[in-house]
Chain A
């Protein structure tokens, strides 16, 4: 079957995209994953200037979940420019989604302007980081006005479609989604990690992560993520990149039925190795062919159509 799918006017060779935060530091890595079957690549979050991460340990993984506090390390826009240039040279036909981040709302304008010059196909905005101007360092993604303000500022300085990555750690994800769409978001990525969570080493009684707490992802959060994607798809009419614990082709199809057009692959790289993209896609195709599905676009939001159209769960 033709596995390609359109997302905001960009053709992806298949719906499986690398989640931001996994691997993607260098052009070589992006290209390697593209050649191993990724349909799209999302970069790690790019800051305008250098940003130090946390000490090790930064990632804990087991069969049930992944807990991470890497601390969003990055060398800043100058290094990113070099990597973009190199990636374009590889000419592999796999779109690049550039993920950007800032500590203050104004930072998002500066990084968007810088990234805009590089003309990536899409920009994903990480608003799950703490707002350093907020008294309690509350993430932008947890407040409708803050999320909308950042969206509007980013949108005002670029014509490249922007996707806002939402945090699941809110009671009102539908309102947040509506706020960012009204502010100009072209698409939504859902979800960022749950939490924070805490993992304790019982021999020392110490938290294991250097940052003590970290965001939780992986198979354990999948049903929660599918529900958030469903809720967002019911609330707004923009395409969604759905993610959270996808390990199999069936998982990916589940996200699409909940409302995702593209599906993120992250923890699957731990569970199924670097062949994860290819394995998951093969499983999706196998299921589609057995089920008489001719194109992935047919299954997007399928569960919404089998339920009462106005239903919320």
Chain B
């Protein structure tokens, strides 16, 4: 896993994505991990041919960036927010937290991963004043042994949040959404679907049953919206439109 820092003046809101282009290889949507109008950060794991090619780049190499696209996470000043990130979902949540604490929000930042070395952004979050880090790992190598959702559940028994934000594996987000719904707390969920164009024309990221393209309707959508998304937590579609279960 690497974080790439680009000289890039895009004005990006946390939760938005950019399409990253390597000529003659491919172009993929990537959630922005940080941007301030001068730099743009992307945290990318080495998981396939495209990300492998990214990892082989050297400092000074150029890539194509277009965007930013999609809807961002939103918050009001001085809110109490729980952020639940799984795996690489922590990156856009960190970006959101960075802005939210400046607006006087207090944040419980709950991240989970299979094991300690897969936890990302721990150090960055620990440095944020106003954010409290909570960690879980499947193997118990650090923090709570089990799921981050269990931490959320426990915290919610002790305190009231104004907002829950989540980004990560969909099964985890579906669990977060259920808890938020039960406790009647507003939530924002960052949906991931197979996106090609990024601006609502190709139709590859349209979800059942609403039929909306998630690249423009989302990726961040409110809890009320995912309740209409029949496939949420159940299945997604591939580049040909075929369904695959989570």
Contact = CB atoms under 8 A, between A and B. Distances in A.
A208 B21 contact: yes
Contact of B206 (A23, A52, A57, A61): A23
Interface stretch (A70-78, A158-166, A176-184): A70-78
Contacts of B25: 55
Contacts, number: 108
Interface residues of A, number: 39
A28 B241 CA distance: 12
A204 B27 contact: no
B240 A75 contact: yes
Contact of A33 (B24, B27, B211, B239): B211
A53 interface: yes
B interface majority secondary structure: loop
B242 A75 contact: yes
A204 B62 contact: yes
Interface in B159-197: 196-197
A144 B19 CA distance: 42
A79 B241 CA distance: 8
A4 interface: no
A201 B23 CA distance: 9
B201 interface: yes
A172 to B, nearest CB: 31
Given A25-B206, A73-B239, A208-B21, A59 B196 contact: yes
Given A28-B210, A50-B240, A59 B27 contact: no
B206 A210 contact: no
A210 B27 contact: yes
Given A25-B203, A56-B26, 11 more contacts: A28-B207, A33-B211, A50-B240, A51-B240, A56-B19, A56-B27, A59-B202, A73-B240, A75-B241, A204-B23, A274-B212
A274 B19 CA distance: 21
Interface residues of B, number: 32
Contacts of A58: 196-197, 202
Interface string B129-148: 00000000000000000000
B213 interface: yes
A71 to B, nearest CB: 10
Nearest to A31: B211
Nearest to A76: B240
Interface in B207-234: 207-213, 216
B202 A24 contact: no
A22 interface: yes
A129 B242 CA distance: 23
Contacts of A228: none
A26 interface: yes
